[in-house]
Structure 1
Amino acid sequence: MTTDAMTTLRSFYAAEAAYLSEEAGFERMARCLAPDVVMHQAPSLPYGGQWHGHDGMREFLAAMGASWDGLWFDEQRFLNEGEQVVVYSRGRLRARRTGRVLETSLLQWISFQDGLITEFRPYYHDTSAVLAALAENA
């Protein structure tokens, strides 16, 4: 992986956190994404499914933003193999409706082409904990 791709990835994560806390718009993230980017999410999540292109990412982020209003990374580790990167993230999310803070970890398989992100494949440690944090009557 080139330094440019790592710069892109770190910029994306910072822009995502700013977006969820309503400090920035989608445009900052769009600069990190290929036009045909694909986001895969666990189907059981409120924002589950496949999201395609910039419009799909905008829709995904709006759906995720409806669930969470804060995202903080406490630890991240990166393993790369050319145009593929595995990212271990440990962090916290704050549920928009309940105010609960979820401490969790996940792995992401992220693909790049020409310094832009083309695909995200996140693997959550515990999707049931994600759903519990979001549940209003839990």
Structure 2
Amino acid sequence: MTMATTTESVRVLTGMYAAEAEYLAAGGPGKASFDLLAPFFAPDVELHQADALPYGGMWRGHEGMRQFFLRMGGVWESFDMTEQKFLATGETAVVLTQVRARARATGRVLEFPILQAITVKDGRITEVRPFYWDTRAVADACTAPAPAD
């Protein structure tokens, strides 16, 4: 295993986010193929999402990532990354993303930042840990109100 350089980490992340934008523009899960994203993720990648989110939990490997994108696509009608900043040192990268998204269940539009700690090894992403500013606001926007009795 070789250590990623800062340049390689930024190259991998830039490529992955471009592929993700293409994936989402093509209609996301069910309409676009995860094959657009798979080359950027190690076969044993781990994604750690906050448990409070509708797509929370640990997602492992390519199949886990495929399932994550299906779940996330079921939650969000649109999920636009409007601005991104990258900071990478070797195999460790931090990405600050501003998001504008519309929830399927409520139609609510939410704007929020996500800070992701990402590890890149051997030219692929091996771990992703997203941190949301307010998981409750995200979960609330994605939850339809209970029917009145």
Q: How does the TM-score come out when normalised to structure 1?
A: 0.90
What does residue 3 of structure 1 align with?
A: 7
Q: Is 2:27 the partner of 1:19? A: no
Q: Which runs of 5+ in 1 are unaligned?
A: none
Report the CA distance shift for 1:98/1:62 in structure 2 as closer, same or farther (over 3 A).
same
Post-superposition Cα deviations, 1:76-125, rounded to whole Å, max 9, x if no partner, equal 11111210001111121121232221100011000000111000000100
Tell me how far apart the structure 1 counterparts of residues 21 and 137 of structure 2 sit (CA, whole Å).
20
Post-superposition Cα deviations, 1:21-57, rounded to whole Å, max 9, x if no partner, equal 5153210110111111000000111111111100111
Q: How many residues align?
A: 138
Tell me how far apart the structure 1 counterparts of residues 13 and 72 of structure 2 sit (CA, whole Å).
19
Q: How does the TM-score come out when normalised to structure 2?
A: 0.84
The structure with higher relative contact order (CA 8 Å, sep 6+) is: 2
What does residue 46 of structure 1 align with?
A: 54
Secondary structure of the equivalent of 2:37?
helix
Q: Is 2:69 the partner of 1:69? A: no
Tell me how far apart the structure 2 counterparts of residues 14 and 97 of structure 1 sit (CA, whole Å).
27
The 5-angstrom pairing of residues 27-42 of structure 1 reads 27-42=35-50
Q: Please tell me the root mean square deviation across aligned C-alpha atoms, in Å.
A: 1.7
Greater Rg, structure 1 or structure 2? 2
- Shift of residue 129, structure 1, vs aligned partner: 1.0
Tell me how far apart the structure 1 counterparts of residues 37 and 15 of structure 2 sit (CA, whole Å).
8
Q: Which runs of 5+ in 2 are unaligned?
A: none
Secondary structure of the equivalent of 1:103?
strand
